[in-house]
Amino acid sequence: MTKSFYITTPIYYVNDSPHIGHAYTNIVTDILARYHRISGKNVKFLTGTDEHGQKVEKSAIAKNIPAQDFVDQVSQTFRTLCTDLNISNDDFIRTTDQRHKDAVIAIWQKLQENGHIYKDKYSGWYSVRDEAFYSESEITEDKKAPTGAPVEWVEEESYFFNLSKWQDKLLQFYEENPEVIYPKSRKNEVISFIKSGLKDLSISRVSLNWGIGVPNEQKHTIYVWLDALTNYLSAIHYPDENNDDFKNYWPEAHHIIGKDILRFHAVYWPAFLMAANLTLPKKIIAHGWWVRDGQKISKSIGNIIVPADLINEFGLDQFRYFLSREITFGNDGNYSRANLVNRVNSELSNKIGNLLQRSLSMVYKNCAEEIPQNITDDIYEDNKLLADALSCFEKYSKAIETPEFSSAIGYVIELAEQANIYIDENAPWALKNTNPEKMQQILYVILETCRYIGILLQPIIPESATKILHALSVPQDQRLFMHLNAKFRLKSGTKIPLPQAIFPRFEGE
Ligand code: MSP
């Protein structure tokens, strides 16, 4: 049976217009989704928008637009971002969708039925920007949240979730499943937060209208994070636990998030799930931030970088490549235009583009516009470059699955470097008249290595990888990772199209 894989991005607040940070979350999630599809899995990739809560309500009021019209408009910009970035999501959920509202009501009722919700009074600090409650000890001297966001004092009737009761169960879960949170440093953060003592969580507000009402309680609106987190279930038909999507995907859930929303995903969410008798996510993977001069890139700080601008200037795949290659996953990355130009030129253009251009032009000119002839089945034997190509997948897949995108890409770049060295050392151009068979074999080995490079780059730079595979005339149905072996090697005599440059060079600053 085909294995299923469920992967999600956070759903984006619609108070903000999409910027490089959102693009990054989308792109790394897309890489994983594509990687698992090319591995032969049945993938569901979910993204969407988080449209309720005070923050969104305030933005709509500030713009003087009815909340529903406002969220319709901004949600659309996040859909457009997906299209602009060539994101392969299978679904786009909005928290204003009826299917989502139904799921939120269902989970609320389940928590209530199981005895985990009670009514009391909340008095404490709340940050609208973070949509989060903070305890007294977390508030800084100048009355800010640890994130730097302003806080306000709230005192009102509220429903509570008995989070404190889940402390030991959460610790036990992470002890028994140490691989769930990645990177490890984030896991340690979560564990110490849980150990510091969990307080019951306020999960309804009377001072909020824009949201999903508490069942049979006119006054109360469900806390936006309980609402938002449930999106991961609503898209797979919760509460219908017998639905095939629910049965196949829920046990395989992988949540990709930014480090700023770890507490919600790794503490509150698993506690809600346990309380609702549901299994817990398989992985919670937290990435770092894109920063500028040490500050998180965000609209409220006013230092945003608009993805569309960079895509127009450098090309979509160049942008995807830079974001996924430039930083060690989990760490912050300092955005710099010079680094972007440098990455694109030194790797995509000089290493991969150059390799393709040199080898394909030679083949086109000297091998009758076709994959070289005179190749025997033992071509792989004793060939170091093809051995490197064969062994590349294992290292690459381990890195991507970790996930460590930069090193996964690095293995492909190393393979291209080896191929460039192989051309230089074997100088096929000098053999044209003296030993044409040998020239054909050398060129064949290079093109066959490029086939690996093209297949491996598909999750990262899908359009360009397709161009590479097209340039090599690799059949459409032989582009999966299972085709990375000698059995599916390039077929001699297959016509190739006129080679075109795939990765242009850019001028530096
Ligand atoms: N709505 C919540 C998530 C609810 S999920 C059930 C939210 N939305 S957000 O729009 O503020 O952030 C969405 C994602 O974008 C987060 O993963 C966040 O980390 C990411 N980024 C926003 N700015 C970022 C950077 N400057 N750099 C990298 N990613 C950051 O939180």
**Mean pLDDT across the chain:** 96
- Residue nearest atom 30 in ligand 1 by C-alpha distance: 21
Asked if pLDDT for residue 508 goes beyond 70, the answer is: no
> From atom 25 of ligand 1, which residue's Cα is the shortest distance away?
21
Confidence of residue 509 (pLDDT cuts 50, 70, 90): low
- pLDDT of 177 reads 98
User: What pLDDT, on a 0 to 100 scale, did the predictor assign at position 298?
Assistant: 84
Give the percent of the chain with pLDDT over 90.
93
Mean pLDDT value across residues 74-96: 97
* pLDDT level of residue 248 (50, 70, 90 thresholds): very high
Probe ligand 1: pick from 46, 49, 50, max atoms within 8 Å of CB?
Answer: 50
Nearest CA to ligand 1 atom 6: 229
Taking the C-alpha atoms of residue 98 and residue 234, their distance in angstroms, rounded to an integer, is: 10
Cα 111 to ligand 1 centre (Å): 27
String of DSSP letters for 246-273? HHHHGGGEEEEEEGGGHHIIIIIHHHHH
Q: Per-residue pLDDT averaged across 48-63, rounded?
A: 95
Check residues 91 and 15 and name the one with the higher pLDDT: 91
Residue 278 predicted with pLDDT over 90: yes
Beta strand spans in 131-262 (E):
132-134, 152-161, 181-182, 201-202, 204-205, 213-214, 217-222, 253-258
Confidence of residue 293 (pLDDT cuts 50, 70, 90): confident
| Interatomic CA distance for residues 453 and 450, integer angstroms | 5
State which amino acid sits at residue 310: L
Nearest residue by C-alpha to atom 17 in ligand 1: 258
Give the number of the atom of ligand 1 that is nearest the alpha carbon of residue 232. Answer: 6
Nearest to 362 by CA among 421, 446, 419: 446
b/e map of 420-432 (b: 16 or more CB within 10 Å)? bebbeebebeebe
Smallest Cα–Cα separation from 93: which of 25, 29, 9, 23? Answer: 9
Question: 157 pLDDT band (50/70/90 cuts)?
Answer: very high
pLDDT value of residue 437: 96
Residues 395-410 pLDDT 10s: 999 999 999 999 999 9
State the pLDDT confidence band at 269, using cuts at 50, 70 and 90.
very high
pLDDT tier at 299 (50, 70, 90 boundaries)? confident
For 470-484, give the DSSP string: HHTT--GGG-SGGG-
Between the CA of 467 and the centroid of ligand 1 the distance, in Å, is 32
What is the CA(395)–ligand 1 centre distance, in A?
Answer: 30
What is the rounded CA–CA span in Å between residue 35 and residue 17?
28
* DSSP per-residue codes, 376-420: -GGGGTT-HHHHHHHHHHHHHHHHHHTT-HHHHHHHHHHHHHHHH
Closest residue (by CA) to atom 12 of ligand 1? 12
CB 28 within 8 A of CB 324: yes
Is the whole-model pTM more than 0.85?
A: yes
Helix axes 307-314, 67-84, angle to 10 degrees: 20
Q: What percent of the chain has pLDDT over 70?
A: 100
Pocket-forming residues, ligand 1, beta carbon under 6 Å: 10-13, 16, 21-22, 24-25, 50, 228-229, 231, 257-258, 260-261, 289-290, 296-298
pLDDT in tens, 314-343: 999 999 999 999 999 999 999 999 999 999
Residue 500 has pLDDT above 80, yes or no: yes
Q: State in Å: Cα 21 to ligand 1 middle.
A: 7
Residue nearest ligand 1's atom 13 by CA: 12
Rounded Cα gap, residues 158 and 163, in angstroms? 14
Q: What is the 8-class DSSP label of residue 281?
A: P
Judged by phi (left if over 0) then psi (alpha if -120 to 50, else beta), residue 262 lies in: alpha
